[in-house]
Structure 1
Amino acid sequence: MTLTTDRPSRSAAPRARVAQPAARPRTAPVERSLVATLVLPDVYRATEGDEVVGYVQLAGPVYVALLGSVYNTSVEIAQCLDLTVALDRLRAARA
């Protein structure tokens, strides 16, 4: 092992140690991802854990993101060309 700096020398007088409060552990919020489950031939249900966040309906080549826990009353928030992007839009609209 090679040291690139000089080691600090110890002073003759010992320093008084000050008790420091214990640091709280930093925890980042866990970002859970949405899971898309095909429930009809053209409709995916987007869930986060046990909670229904919304739906993604396939309309031709377009994925229509619908926000709401009930399919009949959910609101369209985006039209995307990719299922992953549609799920990202649902996640962003929910936050």
Structure 2
Amino acid sequence: MPIAQLTFEVGIEHAQSLKDRRQVVRSLKDKLRHGFNVSVAELDEALVWNRATIGVAAINSSRDYLLGQMQEVERAAERILLTLGGAVLDSQVDVID
């Protein structure tokens, strides 16, 4: 059964502290998790306040469905981050059969 993984780097230019960063990351993760029924996790340590790496994973019997879902998740993340003062800087989708 195919598994899709979306990894993207988030830039949070207004973040002046770890608290600012954490607020944006937590809100993004919660909205993606509830909106798409996917697993979402922060993949890096909080060493830099204005950057974060987020991982999203999903499983389904259809590879095409997973690719479409990951594209929708990425577009939603971009919209959500615009409202939170952030941006998707880079992204990558992998599907494991």
Instruction: Tell me which interval the TM-score lies in, with the shorter structure as reference length.
Output: under 0.3
- Give the number of the structure with larger relative contact order, counting CA–CA contacts within 8 Å between residues 6 or more apart: 2
Compute the TM-score of the two structures, normalised by the length of structure 1: 0.26
Q: Which has the higher helix share?
A: 2
Between structure 1 and structure 2, the one with the greater Rg is 1
